[in-house]
Structure 1
Amino acid sequence: MTNPISKFAVRLHQAVIEPALVLALRRSRLRRFDMTAGDVAEYPVEWHRPQDCRAPCPLHTDKVPKLLRRYAGQRPHSSTWSERTRLTPMLIAMDRLGDAAAFDALLKQRSSRTLSKIRKAERAGYGARQFMLASHVEDMHAVRTSMAFRAAGPVFDRWFLKPEHIDTPATERLTVGPPCCPVHWTIWWGIFLPEPGHRQNGVEVGERLVAYVKVMRIGDVVHYTEIMGHRDRLADSVMMLLHYRIVRWLIAQDEPAAKGAKVLLYGAAEHGGAGLLTWKKRAGFVPGRLRLA
């Protein structure tokens, strides 16, 4: 269930604050990557190819999805007001990235310490995998409310919502199944730490969810939303481990849902502070421009 206060705040932020942030911050944020507006590469993407869909597909095809209306233009090099104030998406071009070794090399190029931190987190027992939301409602609420403020602003759940507003908690162990449609889906990914006897809604799960991200796919574009880690675990590099495993999954293409993605998107260059932008840079993201093909 969506918190109405949070929903209103998000709409207000997107309609009023974000255009102002683009005008104020785009140039300085691009300089962090040694780029100017003329250096930003454009990536044509498609969001709906009927031949790739499988029923029952969750996508509504009557209009362009909201995410792409925010991040993607429809005409190349347009100078309209909407284009000048459009967010600058942070991207990894999956179709140009190469194999797992190439991704490791990219991370090492951005920061010599990233891979060692990821390996240290894995040695500490942290593991990344897909999960069913209903199976870890209480842990997710604990993650969400572990901080009063995040990069995107205040966490309203901390004051207004209880765990059951996230989802109806499961009453038995649930297994993760493939999405109905391989190119339009939502998959929850999490970082787990073994904890014998740990329970969720009375069901023994034996592990604790300490970080998560809602990963969504709309045709060529895979994007992160609701990405959060527990305050007490962030120093263990759990978020970078989570990102690393998701990208490796997309590279491997061992499952139909991972095949053929062209772009991985995580917010905009204008979002958050310098710390979030640094994290995205170390994770392999770069400012880009999306155009609906």
Structure 2
Amino acid sequence: MRLYQRLVEPMLALALRRRRLALLDFDGAVPEIPVDWRRDADCEAPCPLVKDRPPRLIERYVSRRAGWRERLRLMPMVVDIDRYPDAAAFDAALKARSTRTLPKIRKAEREGYYARPFLVQCHVHDVHAIRTSMPMRSAGPVLDYWLLKPGHIAEPATELHPFGWPTCPMHWIIWWGVFLPEPGHRQGGVEVGERLVAFVKMWRLGDIGHYTEIMGHRDHLDKGVMLMLHRAIVRALIAAEVPAMRGVRVLLYGALEHGRAGLLTWKKRAGFRPTRMTVSSSTAG
């Protein structure tokens, strides 16, 4: 993977950027947002995710200098959370991108789908079913379709545990999911009473929230569950009712150059925009 990122991704940036910006009807200057991935003053111990060396995510997406080298760096696709003072403002942005988005989400809600954070250990088998429901997705082939076993995901829980917010509000990994009520539904030997049909694995590094994995079950994708889940996460970031969801400046989902045209269309409808992330003055040294 590192070899791919070092050798292939610069070529993708050179080959695809101008064409992808044109597909987005993006002809203005790309906005620039300074980010601080450490947020030392807000980080709370014990915090196992903070290291002295910047993580690969930062090296891959955050610009540290101008010049020709930036032409070889992937262009992040982000939702600028500061642009939206409330949930209604974000809904207006979704409607401007596509008039079908909000009606599909509201229909899914009427059909009983709901979104919330969850403990992956309590839903290992459903995560496995989602990951192995399709051999090909908008980002490309899914190797998990052939290779993944439930035990590769996490150690399944032997009893039902409630979700708990992480100790450090600035640096965490949280799983968010879309569920349907299903009395009697089990995960191994544990009755959970609901079925997980879509999930996002989200990583927070200070100012940055990052979708490291996002996937829905084939049988539910046409219900709008992925946009429903994304909207629920953005609304939680805007509301900032708990410390872990407070102060995220940008929500990142890969790069402009990633995947095929269908993935780019989805990102456009979800409110993602090409952006240049830079190192904030507090971490520039």
Separation (CA, whole Å) in 1 of partners of 2:35 and 2:200: 23
AA partner of residue 174 (structure 2): I
3-state SS of paired residue (1:51)? coil
Residues 78 and 273 of structure 2 are in contact (CA less than 8 Å); yes or no, is this contact kept in structure 1?
Answer: yes
Question: What do the CA deviations read for 1:112-161 (whole angstroms, capped 9, x no partner)?
Answer: 11110100011111110000010000110010011112233322222222
AA partner of residue 79 (structure 1): G
AA partner of residue 13 (structure 2): V
Separation (CA, whole Å) in 2 of partners of 1:66 and 1:185: 16
1:25/1:190 CA distance change after superposition, 3 Å: same
Separation (CA, whole Å) in 2 of partners of 1:245 and 1:136: 19
Matching of residue 63 in structure 1 with residue 53 in structure 2: yes
2:17 to 8, 26, 37: 26
1:291 to 274, 278, 282: 278
Separation (CA, whole Å) in 2 of partners of 1:52 and 1:228: 31
3-state SS of paired residue (1:281)? helix
1:171 to 141, 154, 158: 158
| Unpaired stretches in structure 1, ≥5 consecutive residues | 1-9
Separation (CA, whole Å) in 2 of partners of 1:270 and 1:94: 22
Question: What do the CA deviations read for 1:165-187 (whole angstroms, capped 9, x no partner)?
Answer: 11000000011111010011111
3-state SS of paired residue (1:50)? coil
**Which residue in 2 is equivalent to 1:228?**
215
| Unpaired stretches in structure 2, ≥5 consecutive residues | 281-285
TM-score scaled by length of structure 1: 0.93
Moved over 6 A (4+): none
**Which residue in 1 is equivalent to 2:102?**
115
What does 1:1-293 correspond to in 2, within 5 Å? Answer: 10-36=1-27, 39-75=29-65, 78-81=66-69, 83-293=70-280
Separation (CA, whole Å) in 1 of partners of 2:147 and 2:25: 42
Identical amino acids, percent of aligned pairs: 62
3-state SS of paired residue (2:41)? helix
3-state SS of paired residue (2:123)? helix
Question: What do the CA deviations read for 1:60-111 (whole angstroms, capped 9, x no partner)?
Answer: 3311111111101112xx1133x21111111111122221111011011111
Question: What do the CA deviations read for 1:190-248 (whole angstroms, capped 9, x no partner)?
Answer: 01111111000110001111100101110000011110001111111100000010001
Question: What do the CA deviations read for 1:11-61 (whole angstroms, capped 9, x no partner)?
Answer: 34322222111111100111123224x610111000112210111112233
AA partner of residue 163 (structure 2): V
Separation (CA, whole Å) in 2 of partners of 1:231 and 1:15: 32
TM-score scaled by length of structure 2: 0.95
Count of matched residue positions in the alignment of Structure 1 and Structure 2: 280
- RMSD, matched Cα: 1.2
**Which residue in 2 is equivalent to 1:3?**
none
- The structural deviation recorded for 1:271 is 0.7
1:153/1:33 CA distance change after superposition, 3 Å: closer
AA partner of residue 73 (structure 1): S
3-state SS of paired residue (2:121)? helix
Separation (CA, whole Å) in 2 of partners of 1:16 and 1:209: 37
Separation (CA, whole Å) in 1 of partners of 2:152 and 2:97: 39
Separation (CA, whole Å) in 2 of partners of 1:12 and 1:198: 42
**Which residue in 1 is equivalent to 2:283?**
none
3-state SS of paired residue (1:125)? coil
Separation (CA, whole Å) in 1 of partners of 2:50 and 2:68: 27
